[in-house]
Amino acid sequence: MPSIRQLRRRIRGVQNTRQITRAMELVASSRLRRAQERVLASRPYAERIRAVISNLAAVSGAQELHPLLQVRPVSHAALILFTTSRGLCGSLNSNMVRAVVRFILDRGVSVDIIAVGTKGPALLRSVGLSGSVSAQYQDLGNYPNVADILPIARSTVDGFTTAEYDEVYVGFSQFVNLMRQEPTLTRILPIVPDALDPAEVSAFHRVDYIYEPGPDAVLSTLLPRFIEAQVYRALLESIASEHSARMIAMRNATENAEEILQDLTLTYNKVRQTAITNEVIEIATAAKAIAGA
Amino acid sequence: MASLRLEIITAERIVLTAEAVGSVRVPASEGIVGILPRHAPLMTTLAPGELIMRKGEEEESFFVTGGFLEVRDNHVAVLADASERAEEIDVDRAEEARRRAEEALKEKREGAELAAAEAAMRRALIRLRLAQRARGRRGASRAQ
C-alpha cells in the first residue's frame, strides 16, 4: 500500500495533467474551426481554375505544347510532404509516413522528398529513409497564406520543367472528419486535364470563348496557379487534420486522466479509512488496558 | 433588364459576390476592358490595377493583381492572385512594400529579380493610389 502522502501527490499530479490536456483540447478545437473555414474558402478558386484548364487544354490542343502537361517516362519523382512540427497528435504523422514508405516501395523510382514540418523527416530517419529528404522547409504556422507556399510550388515546377523530376506528388493528411484523417498522395505534375468529370467538360466545350492574348497565354497563366492552389490546399488540409487529431488525442488523454484519478481517489480513501480504523483500535485497546489495570 | 453577376475569388477567400451589377471595368493584360450585360464569352489574363464595379448609381473599387477573368452567360468571374476592396487596403503595408521595391530597384539587380522588383513597385503604387482615393472619398462624404 502506498502512503497517504504519496497518493496525495500522485492525485495532484494527475489533476494538473488533466488540466493541461483539457486546455490543449480546447485550443485545438478552436484552431480546427478556423482551419476548416480556410479549407472551405480555398475550394472555389481551385475548382474554377481546374474547370477552365480542362476546357482550355482541349481547345488549344496544348497537351503537346505546354511543358507542364507533358507526360514523360518516369525515372525520378518528387514528393512534397506535409507533416506537423509538433507532436501530441496521435498517429497522424506515423500514418502519413507509413503511406509514404509504401508509396516509395511501390513506385520503384527514386523519390526526392521536400518536407514541410519536422516530424516527417524525423520519422523517415527512423526507418532509414532520411537520404531521400532533399529539402526541408520550416513550419509555416497555423494560419499560412498562399505566399508561404510559393517558393515550394515554384521550385518543384522548375524541377519539372528542367526534367529534374518527371512527376511531382503532394502528400498530406486529408481531413475527412473529426475522427478520420486520411494520408493522401496526389500527383500534381504533369497536369492531366482528362482527369475531369466528362459531363463538366462537355458543358464547357459548347462555349466559344474569346481568348486574350490567346489560349496558350491564358493556359500558361493558369497552370502554375493551379499547382500553387493544390499545394496550398494540401497545406490547409494537413493543418486541419493536425488540429483534429490533436483534439481527439487530448480528449482521450483527459478521459484517461479522469479514470486514473477515480482509481487513485478510491485507493486514497481506502488507505485513509484503514489508517483511521487502526488508530481507533489502538486507542480503544490502550483505554481498555488502562481501565483493566 | 439583364444584369451581371460578379465574383472576385482568390486562393484564400472569396472577396466579393455581387448580383445585379450594371457594368465592370477590369484591368486586363491587353488593356482595360469594360463589360456590360450580354458580353460575349471572354477569357483573359489580368494586369495589376483597379477593378471598378458599377451597381446602379454606386461605384465600388477593388485592387486586383495577377490571374484571369472569365465572362460567360452574364457571369463575370475574376480569379486573382490578390484582391481587396480599396477601403480595405492597408496603407502602411503598401507604403512599406513600395519602399522595399524601391531599395531593390536601387540595387540594380538583373533579369528575373529586376522584373520582380518592378512588378512589386507597380503593385504598391496602384495600391497606394487606390487607398488614398478611397480615403478621400470617405472624407468627402463625411463633410457633406
pLDDT for the residue B93: 81
The residue of chain B nearest to residue A56, with distances taken between CA atoms, is: B43
DSSP state of B13: -
- Mean pLDDT for A48-73 is 74
| CA distances (Å), origin A13, targets A152, A187, A246 | 44, 48, 22
Is residue A232 within 8 A of residue A42, CB to CB? The reply is yes
Angle among Cα B71, B76, B77 to the nearest 5 degrees reads 100
pLDDT tens for each residue of A177-192: 888 899 999 888 888 7
The CATH superfamily of B4-87 is F0F1 ATP synthase delta/epsilon subunit, N-terminal (2.60.15.10)
Q: How far is CA B50 from CA A98, B57, B65, B80, B127, in A?
A: 49, 18, 9, 12, 9
Q: What is the pLDDT of residues A90-140, one digit of tens each?
A: 889 999 999 988 888 888 888 888 889 888 888 888 888 777 788 888 778
pLDDT of residue B137: 67
Asked if the model's pLDDT at residue B28 lies above 50, the reply is yes
Please name the residue that has the C-alpha cell 500534381: A188
The residue-averaged pLDDT of A52-62 equals 69
Tens of pLDDT, residue by residue over A14-23, are 999 999 999 9
B139 alpha-carbon distance from chain centroid: 22
In this predicted structure, the answer to whether residue A59 has a pLDDT above a threshold of 70 is no
Please give the Cα distance from B127 to B115 (Å, whole number).
18
**Cβ-Cβ contacts under 8 Å for A222 (sequence gap 6 or more):** A49, A52, A53, A56, B68
Q: What is the pLDDT of residue A178?
A: 86
What is the band of A273 on the pLDDT scale with cuts at 50, 70, 90? very high
Q: Is the minimum CB–CB distance between A286 and chain B shorter than 8 Å?
A: no
Assess whether pLDDT exceeds 80 at residue A195: no
Using CA atoms, how far apart are residues A133 and A119, in angstroms rounded to an integer? 12
Q: What share of chain B is helix, strand, coil (3-state, %, to 5)?
A: 35, 45, 20
Distance CA A263, CA A258 (A): 9
Classify burial at B70, counting beta carbons within 10 Å of its beta carbon; exposed 0-12, middle 13-18, buried 19 or more: buried
Per-residue confidence (pLDDT) for residue B144, from 0 to 100 = 41
- Tell whether B68 is within 8 A of chain A (Cβ): yes
Grid coordinates 510532404 are at which residue? Answer: A81
Contact check, Cβ <8 Å, B11/A213 = no
Q: Is the predicted pLDDT of residue B139 greater than 80, yes or no?
A: no
Q: What is the mean pLDDT of residues B25-53?
A: 90
More confident residue, A12 or B108: A12
Contacts of B79 in chain A (CB under 8 A): 45, 48-49, 225
Question: What are B15-24's pLDDT values in tens digits?
Answer: 899 888 889 9
Residue A119: which residues within 8 A CB-CB, separation 6 or more? A83, A84, A85, A86, A87, A93
A235-245 tens-digit pLDDT? 999 999 999 99
Q: Is the peptide bond prior to A144 cis by the omega test (within 30 degrees of 0)? A: no
The reply to whether residue A56 touches residue B10, judged by beta carbons under 8 angstroms, is no
- Own/partner pairs for A257-262, CB < 8 Å, 24+ apart? A257/A14, A257/A15, A257/A17, A257/A18, A257/A21, A258/A18, A260/A14, A261/A11, A261/A14, A261/A15, A261/A18
Rounded to whole angstroms, how far apart are CA atoms A225 and B67? 8
Categorize the per-residue pLDDT at B2 as very low, low, confident or very high, splitting at 50, 70 and 90.
Answer: confident
CATH number belonging to the domain at B89-143, selected among 1.20.1530, 1.20.5, 1.10.20, 3.40.50: 1.20.5
- At residue A16, the pLDDT reads 95
H or E segment to which residue B105 belongs? helix B91-106
Residue B69 β-bridge partners: B44, B78
Q: Does A41 touch chain B (CB under 8 A)?
A: yes
Largest Cα–Cα separation, chain B: 55
Domain boundaries, chain B: 4-87, 89-143
> Out of A32-46, A206-220, B4-18, which region has the weakest mean confidence (pLDDT)?
A206-220
Which residue do the cell numbers 507532436 mark?
Answer: A87
B67 and chain A: CB distance < 8 Å anywhere?
A: yes
Measure B104 CA to nearest chain A CA, in Å: 19
- Give the distance from CA B59 to its chain's centroid: 13
CA angle A35, A39, A43 (to 5 degrees): 165
**3-class DSSP state for residue A26?**
helix
Provide, as residue numbers in chain B, all residues whose Cβ is less than 8 Å from the Cβ of A46: 11
Nearest to A42 among B12, B44, B67 (CB): B12
Phi, psi angle pair for B85, to nearest 5°: -65, 145
**Gap from B139 CA to chain A (nearest CA, Å):** 32
- The one-letter code for the residue type at A76 is H
Of A210, A222, A229, the CB nearest to B41: A210
- Round to whole Å and give the CA distance between A81 and A234: 9
User: Could you identify the residue written with the cell 495532484?
Assistant: A12
* C-alpha separations of A17 from A5, A10, A22, A254, B85 in Å: 19, 11, 8, 8, 47
Asked if B79 lies within 8 A of A48 by C-beta distance, the reply is: yes
Range 143-182 of A in CB contact (< 8 A) with B: 145-146
Predicted local distance difference test score (pLDDT) of residue A64:
56
Per-residue model confidence as pLDDT tens digits over A221-266: 888 888 999 999 999 999 999 999 999 999 999 999 999 999 999 9
